[in-house]
Amino acid sequence: MADKRRVLVVDDDPLVRETVEDLLLDHGLEATVVEDGESALAVSAEQEFDAVLSDIRMPGRDGTEILPELRELRPATPVVLMTGFASIDSAVESMRAGAFDYLTKPFKADVMLAALERAFEFRELERENTRLRRAVERTSSFGDLIGQSGAMQEIYALIRKISGSSSNVLITGESGTGKEVVARTIHFTGSRAEAPFVPINCTAMPEGLLESELFGHVRGAFTGAHTSKRGLFEEAHGGTIFLDEIGDMPAPLQGKILRVLQDREIRPVGGNKTVKVDARVVAATNKDLRTEIAEGRFRKDLYYRLNVIPVAIPPLRERPEDIPLLAEAFLRKHGGERHPTLSADAIAKLTRYGWEGNARELENAIERALVLAGGAEIEPADLALETGEDGGDFEEALLGEASRRRMTVRELTDRYIDRVLEETGGSKSEAARILGLNRRTLYRRDERGGSAEDVAED
Ligand SMILES: Nc1ncnc2c1ncn2[C@@H]1O[C@H](COP(=O)(O)OP(=O)(O)OP(=O)(O)O)[C@@H](O)[C@H]1O
Ligand SMILES: [Mg+2]
């Protein structure tokens, strides 16, 4: 049988010490209890615990004061703080100083035990960490992720490391860097892979709808709620819920999400019963949440709850090694098995470019190049990148191809119309104005399945 887990309990209140000690013993854990910070440091120097459960307010050196020393003394030992209502702020601050979690007094036994379980799990992971980091060789892909840069290697190692855990994850990165791919990979390579992965975009919906989507609603909760409906947290039971664009979550809902993360239960809209949920929460944002917090738009306590495992994806321009690999993957995705290849010059051009829109922009550029290159090898001229200098590439490439392949005027016109429609975001009247055509001509073109037919004659 495995050794019993050992927990150090630090509290000046004898009643708390006794209750917590009894609880731990009842659950097969070993407890050492001390009554102040100084003694906590002293016993920690002598032996290593699997977790420390410490009060914040104590005479002498309090919980927040001993935290840094404890962390230095025993970096692999997670510290869970216990706090009264009055010191919640310092508990939140302590999370930044390295506390693993905090419990708000009074807490229920199972909440405390769950926090300890997560702490034990975390400690195991910390120990495995160094071993794993050595074991992961340089690979060019992991799950759905592609990339061989150092930054991606670190992300792969981190995802492996957390595969068995259920800790909350916060993914940050510019738009198009692959946050959603990271979230999926975390789920589908982890121990929850058999259960559902449930994504939700927090920007896409008004607050009320978002709430009932997340938590469900009971019958009659609002006009139109003819039946009750399970929320996404329940759908994700045993699996992962992916809160995309969490930075855009309306303030009242932020508070509700925080409660769910703390209590691991939800309350459907209009209902008065709570439901236990077990969903790993992975959130993503391209906003700088620190700024959002400073400007009062995002709750600091929610941030710390979510940010247990931070995954920061650097912009593509900071990891140019990944560009050729991604380009190749996108060629295969959009060009099929027998796709054209990129010439050496084309690869060089892609690698030099700034990719403000990151991998998403690269994917679009490849899709476009496949059309322009029309089956041949892709040359720099086929890559219409959106820099001032490259602005003429589309026209250049199209005319080049037209004369090379002896295109008909109709073919050429079609390509040009498609391009203009793309630029106008599909607005036919705007496109017609630019093209100097009658709007009806463009509609007729649609009916004929996209061929310009008599456009030239119109
Ligand atoms: N490392 C990667 N490996 C494979 N595909 C990637 C990678 N990074 C991004 N992609 C692809 O690029 C596109 C954009 O990725 P994704 O949607 O995950 O970005 P995002 O960070 O969520 O962007 P946004 O902030 O705009 O939502 C997708 O088609 C995705 O498949
Ligand atoms: Mg996204």
Measured in Å, residue 200 CA sits from the centre of ligand 1 at: 16
pLDDT in tens, the chain (458 residues): 457 899 999 999 999 999 999 999 999 999 999 999 999 999 999 999 999 999 999 888 889 899 999 998 898 899 999 988 777 788 888 888 889 999 998 899 999 999 999 999 888 887 776 566 555 555 788 999 999 999 999 999 999 999 999 999 999 999 999 999 999 999 999 999 999 999 999 987 888 889 999 999 999 888 888 889 999 999 999 999 999 999 999 999 999 999 999 999 999 999 999 999 999 999 999 999 999 999 999 999 999 999 999 999 999 999 999 999 999 999 999 988 788 899 999 999 999 899 999 999 999 999 999 988 877 789 888 898 865 444 455 666 677 777 767 778 888 888 888 888 877 777 888 888 888 888 888 888 777 666 655 554 44
The residue whose two tokens read 């077990």 is 278
For ligand 1, atom 7, name the residue with the nearest CA. Answer: 178
Q: How far is CA 430 from CA 58, 398, 419, in A?
A: 70, 22, 13
Same-domain status, 144 and 99: no
Host domain of residue 238: 136-314
Same-domain status, 296 and 395: no
Out of 145, 181, 363, give the residue to mutate to test ligand 1, the one with the largest number of ligand atoms within 8 Å of its CB: 181
End position of a domain, from candidates 102, 128, 154: 128
For ligand 1, atom 6, name the residue with the nearest CA. Answer: 178
**In contact, 244 and 284? CB cutoff 8 Å:** yes
The residue whose two tokens read 């699997």 is 50
Same-domain status, 346 and 383: yes
Same-domain status, 362 and 269: no
Same-domain status, 344 and 385: yes
Give the Cα separation of 99 and 92 in Å (integer).
9
For ligand 1, atom 13, name the residue with the nearest CA. Answer: 360
Contact partners, residue 85, CB within 8 Å, separation at least 6: 104, 105
Lookup: tokens for 358: 């990151």
**In contact, 262 and 208? CB cutoff 8 Å:** no
End position of a domain, from candidates 314, 346, 371: 314
- If you count them, how many residues does the chain have? 458
Same-domain status, 65 and 34: yes
| Eight-class DSSP state of 142 | E
Same-domain status, 326 and 416: yes
Same-domain status, 106 and 172: no
Give the Cα separation of 189 and 56 in Å (integer).
38
* Pair type for strands 141-142 and 145-146: antiparallel
Our answer on whether the CB atom of 444 is closer than 6 Å to any ligand 1 atom is no
Same-domain status, 49 and 142: no
Our answer on whether the CB atom of 181 is closer than 6 Å to any ligand 1 atom is yes
Same-domain status, 333 and 393: yes
Give me the number of domains the chain comprises: 3
Q: Is residue 258 part of a domain?
A: yes
Same-domain status, 212 and 162: yes
| Eight-class DSSP state of 3 | P
Here the CATH number for the domain that contains residue 336 is: 1.10.8.60
Give the Cα separation of 268 and 278 in Å (integer).
15
Locate the ligand 1 atom nearest the alpha carbon of residue 183 and give its number: 18
